């Protein structure tokens, strides 16, 4: 029965009705003791008449009141007067998210802000073991002063189940006691497990969160059918379409929403805290207010992105050359004071895509974009280039070059100088600075080097080595090609693709040649740092070399990443994370940067953060191995072995059963209790070792977690004796069972490493 104005419920005087919901009617009221306006929800007769439900309601109300979170509707009081049960809350002025969505989708920035506040509310409540169970736009309130409040947290649990479709509501609440087999939630937002009548857990709230987030950015529901039964069927069997967007923020939110909407709860974010970390990362990049977004913030300096040049050759076989042309120009422009140049990996994300220049400019946070094309015919070369203003899409400069192939270096310099002139920049030197870009006068050696670099970026290290070697055969004085050989030898050793002593001996030789030919360069000092650490076990000299590499080129992505890796190996984890984070600051669309950051977090024991960052890398490159294997180790550490095994099966297949990735799979199987599967991988290692190099380190974690500690320590000792780089990675999970073994502790001390 509706209450009239002036009706008293204890000290609260009813002023006017505000609305009605599944739990009862809501009124504006006056608290006569504290002289403030409040909202009073008068509970429905069905709920008030059930002692068990009413008792649970009061207990949950007290628990939520104790949360005192700015993004959760504050509960002031619960009471009963004249047979009327009620709850008193703060009074909100504004509109629900449902009302706002009737006007259309939210701008990406607004959706991100709203989602972040809701996630904070969920995280706080989940920490207190409170699950919402009915998150939907009706339960998110947007106040006039910009606040976001989550309503009915943990309270939407009436006692009488409504029939599907009753009352003609297109998104009815279907609820019951939490008895097994009965449905609880709102059609369109309930998780698959709720739709099947199973108990909701915090990950069920994250599914509903994903549905709400999707609706905010898409302007339509993630799951909707002509009847509630059809909607439930969609939840159980289909995925909402991915959104194509001109906004990098909306793209990030779409990825977050889809992960929340995974049918299998194990594939979602595993906590609201993990979800919140992903949203806050997106917010940092969006705002440019954090260190992570520093490199992309608009700070008043002129900024430019150099896109990979398009291959216009008839045979379409100049991909490596087109990438190399763009990278050489990018490197030359990067030496100019007053010009901020977007990093290579970020710009190369747009290779082969037909995005509008304004979209690319927004994603890379640059004001100018240089694009071009390359066409080769025999020894003839045609290069076109144009500089475009992002704001209006107008060309500021364009040119075509028809030359002989041997003129490629002159063309690169001319393009860079023309860009400088078009931008009217003041140079430190009278003309374009001379970098180490004219590596050789031998054009064929240059092509071989660029092909090698192309394969190195694709993590095809053996192919890269052969091409670098061919470049050096043609020009023994080719310093950057020799530095490339040294770097690739280190990578081959890291992944167990070459015997470490052979790889490091070759690395040392090529470093000496490169240093003699070109002096100190960031490339050389970067590789030297890892050589001193992994081969000579000399962390002090290694760190000095790493710092020198960064001094020589503060924007060198790999220098920051490898310096951070050395810090991780010696247990200086906070420093490692800070240094490695710089790779993402410099190159925010780089899967490599996210992979190395995930590794630093993994070795620091920050597993949930590792998973979040690794998934950001995978959003950029779905099969990126450097993101997948740290992600898998973190999943194993958190007991999510099924997920880890799925990831590693994929990676093992993609890598033609590379031993490095097989070792992670074997470790996951051992932790999952699949002894037969783990031992089968050990047998495969034994068989393959008869015809190829198989690092002993690959068996260590499997043996340790099968309980064979003596065999595991023996293999670790062999690995250290061979100077296997992966033996340095003691912070990577799986070695915990060896920590009490004095042989293992002594060897760690000798190597200078620490978890």
Q: How far is CA 121 from the centre of its chain?
A: 22
Is residue 338's pLDDT more than 80? no
- Inter-residue contact 422 to 293 (CB < 8 Å): no
pTM exceeds 0.95? no
At 458 the pLDDT is 76
pLDDT tens string 641-652: 999 999 999 999
| pLDDT at residue number 41 | 86
Tens digit of each residue's pLDDT (9 = 90 or more) over 114-127: 999 999 999 888 88
Q: Does residue 215 have a pLDDT over 70?
A: yes
Band the pLDDT of 8: cuts 50, 70, 90.
Answer: very high
**Residue range 504-525: mean pLDDT, rounded:** 90
Tokens 């790493």 -> residue = 546
What is the distance between the alpha carbons of residues 135 and 744, in angstroms, rounded to a whole number? 50
Beta strands in 345-418 (DSSP E): 368-377, 380-389, 395-404
Report the distance separating Cα 547 and Cα 559, nearest Å: 8
B/e letters for 21-38, b = 16+ CB within 10 Å, e = fewer, are ebbbbbbebbbeeeeeeb
Residues belonging to the active site: 134
Q: What is the pLDDT of residue 622?
A: 82
Which has the closest alpha carbon to 631: 725, 733, 492, 494? 733
Q: How far apart are CA 400 and CA 695, in angstroms?
A: 52
Q: Where is average pLDDT lowest: 44-53, 214-223, 589-598, 686-695? A: 44-53
Pairing of strands 36-43, 84-90: antiparallel
Tens-place pLDDT, residues 57-88:
776 677 677 777 888 888 888 888 888 888 88
Helix (H) or strand (E) holding 305: strand 302-306
Q: Rg of the chain over CA atoms, in angstroms? A: 30
Q: Is the pLDDT of residue 162 over 50?
A: no
Cα–Cα distance, 186 to 228 (Å, whole number): 10
Largest CA-CA distance found in the chain, in angstroms, rounded: 97
Q: Which residue has the tokens 């198989």?
A: 694
Full 3-state SS string of 588-602: CCCHHHHHHHHHHHH
Residue 388 confidence (pLDDT) above 90: no
Q: Is 143 helix (H, G, I), strand (E, B) or coil?
A: strand
| Cβ neighbourhood burial of 739 (10 Å; 0-12, 13-18, 19+) | exposed
Q: What percent of the chain has pLDDT over 70?
A: 85
Is the pLDDT higher at 387 or at 117?
Answer: 117
Which pLDDT score, from 0 to 100, does residue 369 have?
A: 86
DSSP annotation of 72: B
Mean pLDDT of 283-305: 49
pLDDT for 179 beyond 60: no
Residue 515 has pLDDT above 60, yes or no: yes
| Comparison of pLDDT for 245 and 265, the residue scoring more | 265
Q: What is the pLDDT of residue 335?
A: 65
Average pLDDT over residues 690-718: 95
């Amino acid at each position: 029965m509706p209450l009239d104005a002036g009706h008293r419920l204890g000290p609260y005087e009813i002023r006017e009705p505000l609305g009605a919901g599944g739990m009862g009617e809501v009124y504006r009221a006056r608290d006569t003791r504290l002289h403030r306006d409040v909202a009073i929800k008068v509970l429905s007769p069905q709920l008030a008449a059930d002692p068990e439900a009413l008792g649970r309601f009061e207990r949950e109300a007290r628990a939520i009141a104790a949360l005192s979170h700015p993004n959760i509707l504050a509960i002031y009081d619960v009471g009963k007067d004249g047979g009327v049960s009620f709850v008193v809350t703060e009074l909100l002025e504004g509109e629900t998210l449902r009302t706002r969505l009737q006007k259309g989708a939210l701008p990406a920035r607004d959706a991100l802000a709203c989602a972040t506040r809701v996630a904070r509310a969920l995280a706080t409540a989940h920490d207190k073991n409170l699950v919402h169970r009915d998150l939907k736009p009706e339960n998110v309130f947007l106040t006039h002063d910009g606040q976001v409040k989550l309503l009915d947290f943990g309270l939407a649990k009436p006692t009488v189940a409504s029939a599907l479709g009753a009352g003609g509501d297109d998104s009815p609440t279907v609820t019951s006691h939490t008895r097994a087999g009965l449905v609880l939630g709102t059609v369109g937002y309930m998780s698959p497990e709720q739709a099947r009548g199973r108990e909701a857990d915090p990950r069920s709230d994250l599914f509903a969160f994903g549905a709400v987030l999707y609706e905010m950015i898409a302007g339509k529901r993630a799951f909707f059918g002509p009847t509630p039964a059809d909607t439930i069927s969609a939840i159980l069997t289909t995925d909402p379409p991915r959104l194509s967007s001109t906004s990098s923020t909306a793209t990030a939110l779409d990825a977050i929403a889809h992960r929340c909407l995974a049918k299998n709860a194990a594939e979602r974010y595993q906590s609201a805290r993990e979800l919140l970390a992903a949203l806050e990362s997106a917010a940092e990049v969006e705002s440019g207010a954090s260190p992570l977004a520093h490199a992309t913030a608009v700070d008043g300096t002129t900024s430019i992105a150099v896109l990979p040049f398009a291959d216009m050759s008839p045979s379409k076989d100049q991909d490596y050359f087109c990438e190399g042309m763009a990278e050489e120009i990018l490197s030359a422009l990067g030496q100019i004071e007053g010009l901020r140049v977007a990093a290579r990996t970020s710009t190369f994300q747009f290779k082969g895509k037909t995005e509008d220049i304004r979209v690319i400019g927004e994603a890379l946070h640059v004001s100018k974009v240089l694009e071009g094309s390359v066409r080769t015919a025999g020894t003839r070369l045609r290069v076109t280039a144009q500089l475009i203003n992002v704001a209006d899409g107008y060309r500021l400069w364009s040119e075509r070059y028809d030359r002989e192939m041997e003129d490629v270096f002159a063309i690169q310099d001319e393009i860079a100088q023309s860009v400088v002139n078009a931008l009217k920049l003041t140079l430190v030197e009278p003309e374009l600075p001379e970098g180490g870009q004219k590596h050789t006068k031998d054009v064929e050696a240059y092509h071989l080097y660029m092909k090698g670099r192309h394969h190195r970026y694709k993590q095809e290290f053996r192919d890269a080595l052969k091409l670098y070697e061919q470049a050096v055969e043609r020009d023994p004085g080719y310093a950057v090609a020799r530095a490339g050989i040294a770097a690739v030898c280190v990578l081959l050793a890291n992944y167990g693709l070459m015997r470490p002593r052979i790889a490091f001996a070759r690395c040392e030789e090529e470093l000496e040649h490169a240093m003699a030919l070109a002096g100190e360069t960031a490339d050389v000092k970067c590789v030297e740092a890892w050589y001193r650490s992994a081969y000579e076990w000399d962390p002090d000299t290694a760190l000095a070399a790493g710092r020198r590499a960064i001094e020589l080129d503060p924007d060198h992505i790999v220098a920051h990443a490898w310096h951070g890796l050395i810090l991780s190996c010696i247990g200086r984890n906070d420093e490692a994370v800070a240094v490695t984070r710089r790779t993402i600051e410099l190159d925010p669309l780089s899967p490599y940067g996210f992979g190395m950051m995930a590794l630093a977090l993994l070795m620091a024991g920050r597993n949930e953060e590792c998973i979040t960052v690794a998934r950001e890398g995978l959003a950029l490159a779905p099969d990126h191995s450097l993101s997948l294997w740290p992600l898998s180790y973190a999943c194993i550490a958190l007991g999510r072995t099924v997920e880890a095994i799925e990831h590693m099966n994929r990676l093992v297949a993609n890598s033609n059963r590379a031993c490095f990735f097989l070792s992670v799979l074997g470790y996951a199987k051992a932790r999952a209790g699949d002894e037969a599967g783990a031992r089968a991988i050990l047998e495969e290692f034994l068989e393959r070792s008869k015809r190829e190099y198989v690092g002993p380190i690959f068996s260590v974690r499997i043996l340790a977690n099968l309980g064979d500690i003596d065999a595991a320590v023996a293999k670790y000792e062999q690995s250290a004796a061979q100077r296997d780089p992966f033996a340095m990675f003691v912070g990577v999970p799986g070695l915990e069972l060896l920590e009490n073994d004095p042989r293992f502790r002594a060897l760690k001390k000798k190597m200078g490493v620490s978890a």
